[in-house]
Structure 1
Amino acid sequence: MKESLQIAVDTGGTFTDVAIRGEDGSLFVWKVPSTPDSPDDAVIDGVTGAIEELGADITSISQFVHGTTVATNTVITRTGARVGLVTTAGFRDMLTIGHQARPSLYDQHHQRSKPLVPDELISEVSERVSADATIIRPVERDEIIDLATRIRARELDVLVVSFLNAFVNPENERNAVAILKELGAAPEIFAASSISTEMREYERTSTGTINAYVQPKIAGYVGRLAQRIREIDVSAPLWIMQSNGGLLTPDHASEHAARTALSGLAGGVVGSAMWADQLGLDKAVSFDIGGTSTDIALIRDGQPDETMAGQIDDLPLQLPSVDVHTIGAGGGSIAWLDSGGGLRVGPQSAGAVPGPVCYRRGGLDLTVTDAHAVLGRLGSSLLGGRFELDLAAARQRMTEWGDSLGLSTEDAAEGILRVINATMARGIRKVSVERGVDVRNCALIAFGGAGPLHGSDLLRELDMKSAVIPPMPGIASAVGMLDAPERHDFSSPVDVLGPEDHGSIAMVHSDLATRAESAMDCPDPNLSYLVDARYVGQSYELTIPYVADWESQRKILDSAHAERYGFSDASAEMEIVVARLVARGEESAKLQSRETNDGGMLSPVELRQVYIQGSWKQVPVYERADLSTGTSLCGPFIVNQLDSTTYVGPDQLCRVDEFGFMHLTEGI
């Protein structure tokens, strides 16, 4: 009988990562360069290459999970569909006006991102629904017929209908969509309320237009990928990672394309949350460094923080997602000088092509990876010897750049790392200190291709509890996807101001549960009941667990408010504005322990000169596979493996636990 294999593929800006898990829990990793112009090429190359290297039968794949950056890249590069918008008369400028939030308060030159729908593709309809769901003016068929003629002439790809207050009563929206579909106004037509059913018209409309903008590309990509994996004899169903850390079928991903906006990075957060839970880390920071960016998320009691109001390219996205703070800092981040002569690193990136100078692909700009190479933290090759580095070229370019700054080669390289580490430290504080969590009580789960190279430095700079390096950090996002469950989120607006109305939430949850059971592919899903609550007068909410007792519900809100904002208001009244339900499939797998250290001597594979704290030092280099359970080593040293390199600094202790995780702590 063939062994059943689970496979996950994570497409990144520089590399596409492949993780394969066997029935015995063993993991095999593989990496291939990404192909940004055609991401599915790298997916197929990665899968076939990994299976060939493993010596397995490709027909034995029983699960195929994929995290994609197609939606994100489509919005950022503005290469999406031609989208039209139909809205309530008087509100055509909603996307342009937005709201009063100003991310750069004192930057007079700051430019907001342009809406995805230009003004000439926006139409108005004389309908109206009141805030209490009363239809003041229904949709007039004759008006829609006249409008459809004008819309057809615009040759749209997708048309979105978003009416005022449709979140409390979508009847007008649905009627307009039905008539426009009947008249063939556009190839694809849908109501914004079918994507987001929550209040705040600008955010809901923005979410609908984002979904429309990326939908054709996501549908085309997912369909093409599903066909291509069938052509290479993979019969397993394709699952797509979504922003909330769960999985979607290709059909659901095509219809609700905006839910894949944070698809790639969510896998790492899911994995980090599972690892934190099973390692007993009550507070942890998921820290994923790739070639272009660093994705940071807070994890409490084994659960990642989530947000119901994210952003993509400064555009509101009102869908549940893991609450990730992304910064333009990665291995490919380019070093440059600002107008005042100050050293900056990123957010510009050398990407996969041409990449860092040491990648031998024609790159001329020095990057973070080049700095690590010059300082000796990286050896002469990556990916187990399959990817040769040009250390001499990186050093020569660093010397030239250092001379122009009056710095030595080593000081220039160290300067790049200090600057990028400071940027990363600010990002970590953003998800911890700014949310009322003492960063010194957090463990840093560092992964991604470059995460283990920076874990030691950030552990020291932020005085964190520990830095934890997963067994296969370079493909941790792909590994996390293997354990992600199927997930669907549902919500409905409510208006509850006291105990007399609190019981109505249970009926709303019951309706949502019925919808969840019909949407889920797996039987008997795990249902979580939540509400969005706030103090009366506030314009923001906190998502908290639902309980049937009003007083207990109030205590949960007070506790959550105090943790997030540092205080609770006993004199304020509570109101509940949204009822939520999260439906999940089977829970993730458990970590498997490894054999205990047999007590044999651990020998380095080489001794390497590494520049540390102002001087060159000879440090041992170990292979990760040789670090068995119970191994304890004092820094400085370096650990090599196929998918990443770990640097451990002076006066730091590294301990390997029973699951193969490396735990770095300060002080020996």
Structure 2
Amino acid sequence: MQLIGIDTGGTFTDAVVLDHGGRTTVGKALSTPGRVDDGVLAAVGTVADSLGLTLRDLLSATDVLAHGTTVGLNALLTRSGARVGLLTTAGFESTPAIAKATKLHHLPEEDLRAPSRWRKPDLPLRRGDVAGVPERVDLTGEIIIPLDEEAARAAIARLVAAGVESIAVCLLWAPVNPRHEHRIRELVHEIAPDLHVTLSSDVAARIGEYERTCTTVVDAYTAPLVASYLRRLETRLRDHGFVGDFVVMRMGGGVQPAPVARRQAVQTLRSGPAGGVSATRALGARLGHANLIATDVGGTSFDVGLVIDGEPYSARLPTIDRIPLAVPAVDIPSIGTGGGSIAWYDPALGTLRVGPQSAAARPGPACYGLGGTRPTLTDAVVVLGYVTRLGATLTLDRDAASRAIDEHVARPLGVGVIEAAEGIVQVACAQMRDLVRRTTIQRGHDPSDFVLVAYGGAGPQYVGRYAEDLGVSEVIIPALAPEFSAYGAISADLRVAEERDLRPVPLVEAGPPVGAALAELEPEVVAQLGGGHLTVRRSVGLRFYRQLQRIDLPVPAGPVDADVIEDLLARFHKAYELVVGPGSAPPDTPVEVVAVGVAAVRPIVVPEPSPRPRRGAQPVRTTPTWFSGQADDWPVYRWEALGGGQRITGPCLVESDQTTVVVYPGQALQALPGGDLRPILQE
């Protein structure tokens, strides 16, 4: 198949085209906030130009176009989504406002030490746009109070009259019996047929009232914008000749058909970063590594994810902007340290800071020449000579970068421009290194068991700094590092998953209810992929009696009989001790089932890259570059000219059309057969 992967970042939109013979071609364009689809078509257009094709020629020959998008995430972070009305069980209208009394409202670590900052997260929901509806279902699913349809109609009419643009419905115990939620959706469509409706039982069939409410509200808040964007983009792609499958990256892993993504907007929130972790997993499988640390330095952020035993590490209750979500997602901690992060002097502390504010795509770093005047991390590496060009169309202005650093950082600190630029890089890389440590060591993982993968447009420039002293076993820069998240979208399997929480039931008695729940979910997920050759994966969530945390284990096909129950119990004890420690699983403590899940998967076959012949490339030129406060002319190599097995020593630069690898003094670089690079941090 011919595949196209797209990733829209805060600064650049990346495109990767993989043709039938395994040849890869990449393209990059500045992102276009407000008209994201323009940036997508521009990025694909640059690939078509490089192949000597028209956009129509390229798209008409494409079988699958996979897209990672942050449209919904940006709407949530900037509070620019739809006005949401929430319908909930009467008497529970204050659930969003009360939030949780524990976990200090998901505050970041630095705020935990400042009680004055202990405020609750702000849901994108006005207090007056919440309405209670008389009804009640108990924990067994029995209807205790029937739905008052007249009161529901009145509540819907009031919200519509108030100007809400989307409705979220979250009733008590809807995961067990969603009948009342389904009826409310019918009533909404009777009163306002064009209004979007999100049901908690559809997007987050999980027990946990507050988290389920948050998820439902966030989906309703972002869905109109995400659905409109995906429809508009698909229409434009079809108008340009695309007749293949349009799929969207899920933040829980895998890709899903665009119609499913439009119905589950919450699953697209971090789909772009999830693509990078998916690509890291594929890279590890190709190179024989099961444990990897994915590190992505983009234009606005630094993201870290883990692949453990060949699978992305997921969070059952991820948080975005401190809002907990009751949907599983690839766990990707992030900080606002990227190429476009603004460097600034903090007068209160008398020190240099980098981020979290970003210059974004426009006006961008000062060196872009697009009107930006604030210094960024990218301006610092341009001043130091680490980067001399970026893409085929963007000329970097070193003088503008120097002026910005001088005005806003160097003079306030009382140092020279070069010293200030080196300080910016040092601070940024320390922040990146700290996040990697928090993601590994503080979670009980030994970095020496992991291979660190550095990607993103800026990752190759900084990995020689931020990977130092981490103790990882190896570092790899992928051949498609600047477009790695876009590549991840096409290297991910087509996947639809549904999960449902159950009323806790002892494992020894769980055969019939678990079997019934799995049998109900399986045809739902298979139907969403349209049948065909699929792999169906079933799972159950287990925990010790009355514990809060659960462990998910796969369940084989067939009936959930006594042999399956016995095997699940043995595997649960083993998995529990792997997490908590040897001897921590008491054999006599009852185990209960609290959730079931079903995923339907259709593999997308991605050709292996062709090995590069072993040859000894020579530098193409030298360039003045500053290391440790001193400048000299250092060699520059072309990435594509490096042959498999070739080794070069630093200091030097390795350029591609999209990024630059910086090999610092005392380091070396080895080219791998598939075009990937292996930095050697200590010669």
Q: Which residue of 2 aligns with 1:123?
A: 131
2:634 alignment partner, one of 615, 619, 641:
619
Equivalences for residues 304-453 of structure 1 within 5 A: 304-338=312-346, 339-379=348-388, 381-384=389-392, 386-400=393-407, 401-453=409-461
Q: Which residue of 1 aligns with 2:32?
A: 35
1:585 alignment partner, one of 593, 602, 627:
602
| Deviation for aligned residue 1:55 | 1.1
Q: Which residue of 2 aligns with 1:300?
A: 308
Query: Normalising by the residue count of structure 2, what TM-score does the alignment of the two structures yield?
Result: 0.92
Rounded Cα–Cα distance in structure 1 between residues aligned with 2:250 and 2:469: 33
Q: Which residue of 1 aligns with 2:549?
A: 540
Rounded Cα–Cα distance in structure 2 between residues aligned with 1:125 and 1:482: 44
Does the aligned pair in 2 maintain the 1:32–1:46 contact within 8 Å?
Answer: yes
Q: Which residue of 1 aligns with 2:103?
A: 101
Q: Cα deviation per residue 1:608-644 (whole Å; 9 max; x = unaligned)? A: 2322234334321100011111212222221100121
Rounded Cα–Cα distance in structure 1 between residues aligned with 2:439 and 2:335: 12
2:67 partner SS: strand
Does the aligned pair in 2 maintain the 1:435–1:565 contact within 8 Å?
Answer: no
Equivalences for residues 509-658 of structure 1 within 5 A: 509-521=518-530, 523-546=532-555, 549-566=564-581, 569-571=584-586, 572-597=589-614, 599=615, 601-658=616-673
Rounded Cα–Cα distance in structure 1 between residues aligned with 2:437 and 2:593: 30
2:3 partner SS: strand
| 1:205 alignment partner AA | T
Rounded Cα–Cα distance in structure 2 between residues aligned with 1:184 and 1:389: 52
| Deviation for aligned residue 1:172 | 2.4
Rounded Cα–Cα distance in structure 2 between residues aligned with 1:129 and 1:189: 21
Q: Cα deviation per residue 1:165-192 (whole Å; 9 max; x = unaligned)? A: 1111222222333334334487233421
Rounded Cα–Cα distance in structure 2 between residues aligned with 1:636 and 1:556: 50
Label 1:308 to 1:611 Cα distance change in 2 as closer, same or farther (>3 A): same
Does the aligned pair in 1 maintain the 2:576–2:585 contact within 8 Å?
Answer: no
| 1:518 alignment partner AA | A
Q: Which residue of 1 aligns with 2:68?
A: 67
Rounded Cα–Cα distance in structure 2 between residues aligned with 1:553 and 1:500: 13
Does the aligned pair in 2 maintain the 1:9–1:17 contact within 8 Å?
Answer: yes
Q: Which residue of 2 aligns with 1:478?
A: 486
Rounded Cα–Cα distance in structure 2 between residues aligned with 1:265 and 1:555: 35
Rounded Cα–Cα distance in structure 1 between residues aligned with 2:267 and 2:585: 37
Q: Which residue of 1 aligns with 2:560?
A: none
Does the aligned pair in 2 maintain the 1:436–1:565 contact within 8 Å?
Answer: no
Equivalences for residues 9-88 of structure 1 within 5 A: 9-56=6-53, 57-58=57-58, 59-88=60-89
Rounded Cα–Cα distance in structure 1 between residues aligned with 2:543 and 2:632: 56
| Deviation for aligned residue 1:574 | 2.4
Q: Cα deviation per residue 1:317-339 (whole Å; 9 max; x = unaligned)? A: 22222111111110011112331
Label 1:23 to 1:162 Cα distance change in 2 as closer, same or farther (>3 A): same
Label 1:274 to 1:140 Cα distance change in 2 as closer, same or farther (>3 A): same
Does the aligned pair in 2 maintain the 1:192–1:205 contact within 8 Å?
Answer: yes
| 1:229 alignment partner AA | L
Does the aligned pair in 1 maintain the 2:136–2:172 contact within 8 Å?
Answer: yes
1:153 partner SS: helix
Q: Which residue of 2 aligns with 1:499?
A: 508
Q: Cα deviation per residue 1:390-442 (whole Å; 9 max; x = unaligned)? A: 11222243344323312232221111111111111121122211222111222
Rounded Cα–Cα distance in structure 2 between residues aligned with 1:193 and 1:179: 17
Q: Please tell me whether residue 7 in structure 1 is matched to residue 4 in structure 2.
A: yes
Q: Cα deviation per residue 1:349-377 (whole Å; 9 max; x = unaligned)? A: 11111111211122221111111112221
2:154 alignment partner, one of 146, 164, 170:
146
Label 1:463 to 1:410 Cα distance change in 2 as closer, same or farther (>3 A): farther
Rounded Cα–Cα distance in structure 1 between residues aligned with 2:90 and 2:582: 42
| 2:344 alignment partner AA | W
1:227 partner SS: helix
Q: After superposing the two structures, state which structure 1 stretch, 142-151 or 37-46, moved more.
A: 142-151
Rounded Cα–Cα distance in structure 2 between residues aligned with 1:447 and 1:491: 32
Rounded Cα–Cα distance in structure 2 between residues aligned with 1:574 and 1:337: 55
Q: Which residue of 1 aligns with 2:164?
A: 156
Rounded Cα–Cα distance in structure 1 between residues aligned with 2:598 and 2:380: 47
| 1:393 alignment partner AA | A
Label 1:434 to 1:561 Cα distance change in 2 as closer, same or farther (>3 A): farther
2:177 partner SS: coil
Q: Cα deviation per residue 1:458-499 (whole Å; 9 max; x = unaligned)? A: 222312222101112111111111122211111222323232
Equivalences for residues 137-216 of structure 1 within 5 A: 137-184=145-192, 187-216=195-224
Rounded Cα–Cα distance in structure 2 between residues aligned with 1:505 and 1:55: 56
Alignment: residue pair count: 661
Ranges in structure 1 where 5+ consecutive residues have no aligned partner: none
Rounded Cα–Cα distance in structure 2 between residues aligned with 1:374 and 1:190: 50
2:45 partner SS: helix
| 1:585 alignment partner AA | R
2:676 alignment partner, one of 651, 661, 665:
661
Label 1:499 to 1:360 Cα distance change in 2 as closer, same or farther (>3 A): same
Rounded Cα–Cα distance in structure 1 between residues aligned with 2:396 and 2:158: 58
Label 1:162 to 1:644 Cα distance change in 2 as closer, same or farther (>3 A): same
Q: Which residue of 1 aligns with 2:559?
A: none
Label 1:559 to 1:333 Cα distance change in 2 as closer, same or farther (>3 A): farther
| 2:315 alignment partner AA | T
Rounded Cα–Cα distance in structure 2 between residues aligned with 1:492 and 1:114: 27
Label 1:368 to 1:562 Cα distance change in 2 as closer, same or farther (>3 A): farther
Rounded Cα–Cα distance in structure 2 between residues aligned with 1:561 and 1:407: 54
| Deviation for aligned residue 1:447 | 0.5
Query: Normalising by the residue count of structure 1, what TM-score does the alignment of the two structures yield?
Result: 0.94
1:135 alignment partner, one of 143, 151, 168:
143
Does the aligned pair in 2 maintain the 1:195–1:208 contact within 8 Å?
Answer: yes
Label 1:557 to 1:413 Cα distance change in 2 as closer, same or farther (>3 A): farther
Q: Cα deviation per residue 1:95-153 (whole Å; 9 max; x = unaligned)? A: 11111222233323324432222111111122112222222111123332433443342
Q: Which residue of 2 aligns with 1:455?
A: 463
Rounded Cα–Cα distance in structure 2 between residues aligned with 1:227 and 1:279: 39
Q: Taking every aligned residue pair, what percent have the same amino acid on both sides? A: 31
Q: After superposing the two structures, state which structure 1 stretch, 253-262 or 649-658, moved more.
A: 649-658
| 2:405 alignment partner AA | M
Rounded Cα–Cα distance in structure 1 between residues aligned with 2:519 and 2:149: 35
Does the aligned pair in 2 maintain the 1:635–1:649 contact within 8 Å?
Answer: yes
Rounded Cα–Cα distance in structure 2 between residues aligned with 1:298 and 1:632: 28
Rounded Cα–Cα distance in structure 2 between residues aligned with 1:452 and 1:505: 48
Rounded Cα–Cα distance in structure 2 between residues aligned with 1:407 and 1:559: 57
Does the aligned pair in 2 maintain the 1:444–1:455 contact within 8 Å?
Answer: no
Q: Cα deviation per residue 1:517-559 (whole Å; 9 max; x = unaligned)? A: 2111351211222222222232222333336644543443344
2:87 partner SS: strand
Rounded Cα–Cα distance in structure 1 between residues aligned with 2:150 and 2:406: 73
| Deviation for aligned residue 1:303 | 1.3
| 2:224 alignment partner AA | P
| 2:116 alignment partner AA | H
Rounded Cα–Cα distance in structure 2 between residues aligned with 1:24 and 1:639: 27
